[in-house]
Each structure stands twice: as C-alpha cells, then as structure tokens.
C-alpha cells in the first residue's frame, strides 16, 4: 500500500513537471537555452500576487500600487530577471510615477547620493509602519544609519542641538533628504533663515536649561548686526550638530566675566586679529584707543575682561561697534552709558567713572573698524 502511494506521488510530480515545461515552451519569446526561469505565471495570475506575496499585511502605510493590487505597475511577472522590475535602474523606476523627483535628479546641484543609487535605501517599496514607509523610526536614526560620523558626534558632544532629537524634527528639519539646489541640501537659502524658523520664540537650552531669547525678534529690533548675521551664516559661530563648547560654538569662549587672555580660548579670534588685543600701542588694529594707546589692551589683555562684557554677539540698535546698552559683570547689572563722538567716545559704567577717549591726529592706516582675517 505504501509503495503504491509513493509511486502515485512520483507520477503526479513527473506529470506536473512535463505540463509546466510545455507551458513554458509556448510562452512568447521563451528560449530553452536562456538562463533559468525565476518567475513564470500566466496572464490571469497578474493580479493575484498577494496569494504568495502579501507584502502589506498588518502594515500601517502601504504604497498605492501594492494597496490596489497593481503589482505589475512596477513588476513584470514575465521578466527573466530575479527582481522582476520593469525598469532595472533605481531610482529610474520610482521617478516614472514621482515626476518631481525626476526634476530634482535632472536640475538640482546637490542631490543626495542615496537618491541617485536607490530610493529603497530609505523607503520600503511596498509597505511599512512608519510614515513614508521609512526604514527606521525617528528620522535622525534613518540618516545616521549611513552618516555614522554624525551619529557619533551628535550623541557624544556635551552640548546637543535639541532639534536633532525632536520626534517631529531630526535632520529633516534643516535638510531635504532628496536634495536641493543649495549647499548641504538645506531647505532654505541661508542658515540664518533656517535657524530663525525655530528660534522665533523663546526656547530652553539643552545644555543647562537656560531659556534662550526669541532671536528673530531680537534681530528685528536690533538691526546693526554682527558680520556672520549680515552674511546669513549662523554657522560662522555655531555648530548646528552640537559641540563640546558652550552654546554649541565652533570654538571655545570663556564662561567667566574675567579670564586671562589667550587667543585660542576665544572663538572671536577665528576671524578678528589677535593684535587688536595684544598690541599695547596701535593705530592699525582698533579704533578703541586714546591716541595710540590701545584701550582693548587695557580692558582685555591687562584687566582680563572678556569681549562679551561690552559687546553683543548678534545685533544692537545703535550704529556702534556692537556695544551693549546694558551688561553684567559677575552678579552686577548696569548700563554702559556709551556716547559716540566723531573722534572717539565716552562711557560711564559702574566699574569706573566717566572716561573719554579721542583718537587724535592718528588716523587708522587700514579699515576703520577691524581688519578681519581671511
């Protein structure tokens, strides 16, 4: 009995193999000498892929062709290639239905390399549980699966940029993941515009919980701006991915009101010349002088007062060299009471009585304000 059942099964298998071979030979374009067939269906099977390939089962976000059972939009079930794609080039397949991305590939200067290689590096072509069928939860995790150096940096620095770790923010808040005509695939023309899209309200600083001011409002009300702001580049001073320096600065800046002067401890001197502070006598490097006597040398080099005691880093109201109207020194808060004069000026803070300075007959040999490093 057992032998008869076994023989019957063998005959059925041989018969089905014969019938399958006959069917394949009748298929238009079929050549026995070509490579082994991977997928072979009849036309009536073209809309029943889900019987074997239920790629969307239980998924929250389903690609439209898969959702409506139109698998043949992307796949040719009679194709002899293993992936059965109608177009071998990816993203060539995707841009047939996503024309805006085709334009991006043709026009934009800064296209994400992964887009040129394969859309499926980031997106599941069938379905997924994350919006846009992304392959990783949290959009920063998706980017950092490739950009491992940024992952290590952003997670290890002392002072982290909160935007990177927001559930609805991440890298996509600043960068277009497909590409743009702008450097670094930024969403807008300048980093200033980008930063102010979030810093248009008071925000808590990640490093110490201090509330940051509404910078958009500050710059609107104080229109005499620091050079990097004028250039539209907040990244001239700040690292948008985080930093070990306070305030996410690109280089150190003293935390105390008084610090022994060393140029390497000041981000300011990445642009400004050290001689502005170190030269005891000058007519070249600063206009803050009494005749040739360098008053920056007196304040910063000799008295160890940091730049930020007198100077505002972003913008001020008056046409002065970024001088604050109000400041603090230690726990004391006071007005500088600076009055600009044609040949100098005067100030009357609490740290000393009113003092005036005149540049006299010595005119600066270079530009009036400062010779900035190039």
Summarize pLDDT for 54-88 with one digit per residue, the tens. Answer: 888 889 999 999 888 888 888 887 777 777 888 87
Q: 95-126: buried (b, 16+ CB within 10 Å) or exposed (e) per residue?
A: beeeeebeebeeebeebbebbeeebbbbbbbb
- Write the DSSP string, 301-332: IIT-B-GGGTB-SSEESSSSSSB-SEEEETTE
Closest CA to 363 of 344, 339, 340: 344
Distance separating alpha carbons of residues 351 and 225, to the nearest angstrom: 27
Q: What was the pLDDT predicted at 26?
A: 41
Can you list the residues of the chain whose pLDDT is less than 50?
A: 2, 5-37, 366-369, 371-372, 374
Which pLDDT tens digit goes with each residue over 24-35? 344 344 344 344
Closest CA to 372 of 294, 226, 271, 277: 271
Q: What was the pLDDT predicted at 31?
A: 42
* CB-based contacts of 168, cutoff 8 Å, min separation 6: none
Closest CA to 177 of 240, 122, 239: 122
Q: What was the pLDDT predicted at 158?
A: 93
Q: What was the pLDDT predicted at 321?
A: 87
C-beta of residue 277 within 8 angstroms of C-beta of residue 286: no
Q: What was the pLDDT predicted at 16?
A: 39
Per-domain residue ranges for the chain? 54-135, 143-248, 263-358
Q: What was the pLDDT predicted at 80?
A: 72
Stated length of the chain: 374
């Amino acid at each position: 009995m057992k032998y008869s059942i076994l023989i019957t099964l063998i005959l059925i298998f041989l018969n089905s193999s014969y019938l399958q071979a006959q069917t394949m030979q009748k298929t238009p374009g079929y050549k026995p000498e070509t490579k082994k067939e991977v997928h072979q269906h009849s036309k009536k099977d073209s809309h029943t892929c889900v019987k074997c390939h239920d790629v969307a089962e239980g998924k929250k976000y389903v690609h439209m062709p898969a959702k409506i059972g139109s698998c043949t939009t992307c796949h040719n079930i009679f194709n002899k290639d293993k992936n059965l794609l109608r177009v071998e080039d990816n993203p060539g397949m995707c841009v047939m239905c996503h024309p805006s991305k085709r334009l991006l590939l043709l026009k934009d200067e800064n296209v994400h390399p992964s887009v040129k290689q394969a859309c499926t590096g980031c997106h599941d072509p069938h379905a997924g549980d994350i919006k846009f069928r992304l392959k990783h939860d949290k959009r920063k995790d998706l980017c950092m699966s490739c950009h491992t150096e940024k992952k290590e940096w952003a997670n290890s620095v002392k002072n982290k940029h909160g935007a990177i770790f927001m559930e609805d923010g991440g890298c996509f808040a600043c960068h277009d993941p497909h590409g743009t005509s702008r450097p670094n695939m930024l969403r807008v023309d300048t980093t200033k515009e980008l930063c102010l899209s979030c810093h248009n309200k008071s925000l808590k600083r990640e490093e110490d919980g201090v509330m940051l001011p509404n910078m958009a409002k500050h710059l609107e009300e104080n229109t005499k701006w620091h050079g990097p702001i004028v250039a539209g580049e907040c990244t001239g001073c700040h690292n948008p991915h985080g930093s070990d320096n306070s305030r996410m600065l690109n280089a150190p800046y003293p935390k105390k009101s008084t610090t022994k002067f060393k140029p390497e401890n000041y981000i300011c001197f990445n642009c400004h010349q050290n001689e502005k502070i170190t030269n005891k006598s000058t007519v070249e490097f600063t206009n803050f002088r009494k005749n040739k006597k360098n008053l920056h040398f007196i304040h910063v080099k000799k008295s160890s007062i940091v730049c930020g005691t007198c100077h505002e880093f972003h913008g001020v109201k008056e046409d002065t060299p970024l001088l604050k109207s109000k400041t603090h020194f230690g726990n004391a808060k006071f007005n500088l009471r600076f009055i600009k004069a044609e040949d100098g000026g005067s100030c009357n803070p609490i740290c000393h009585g009113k003092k005036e300075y005149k540049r006299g007959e010595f005119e600066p040999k270079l530009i009036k304000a400062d010779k900035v490093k190039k």
